[in-house]
Structure 1
Amino acid sequence: MATTASKKFDILDVNLAIPMGVAIDAHLGNLRASLSDHFELKALESTREKMLRAHIICVGTEFPSIAELEQAIRQLAGVEDFPWQRFGGVPVCETATVQF
């Protein structure tokens, strides 16, 4: 079994905070626009009021760590506009989230 250090990641698993007074669909639309063609956004489930679990999926690039993947996403979607709690990342060609 490969260790986390030897895996590459292309999906960031997050708990996305939805600002008060903002519709979930509108906030997701704004995040999608910020990510442009570099990343896709897949809403998974509401975890509690104004929180939504989501996958942010990289298109065409793999990252050697979850932290580097998140850093690349943060260059497009700043923490001030799109706060989230990171659960972990999903390795390339896998479906389960690796937490750290």
Structure 2
Amino acid sequence: MVTAELAMIAPFAVAFAFLLLWIISLGLTQIRITDASREAARMIARGEAVQDAKDVARRHAPAGAKVSVDTDSGTVTVTVTARSRMPLPYFSSVGSQTMEADSVATVESP
């Protein structure tokens, strides 16, 4: 009797585990791109080179992330865009999402 119930529940348990893994990977990707955009915005606001800040953001963000910088009237906006993928072989394209994080910093005067 128990075997039949386990056989019925097992596919749902596996699907639930995949759902949890996907949600966790989305959260981790969002944290990484938010940190990357914040660090780059701070660097540019302090007067460091834009290219150096972009390089730092790319190192902090997931592979393949795109970094854009917009300077406008005393503020710097850094946008980091990346795709979140399931960290499992054969499932990397399942549930992939494009995620974006923006950070704004006020340019410091020398």
Give the TM-score band, short-chain normalised: 0.3 to 0.5
Q: Greater helix share, 1 or 2? A: 2
- TM-score normalized by the length of structure 1: 0.37
* Larger CA Rg, structure 1 vs 2: 2
Choose between structure 1 and 2 for higher RCO, CA contacts under 8 A separated by at least 6 residues: 1
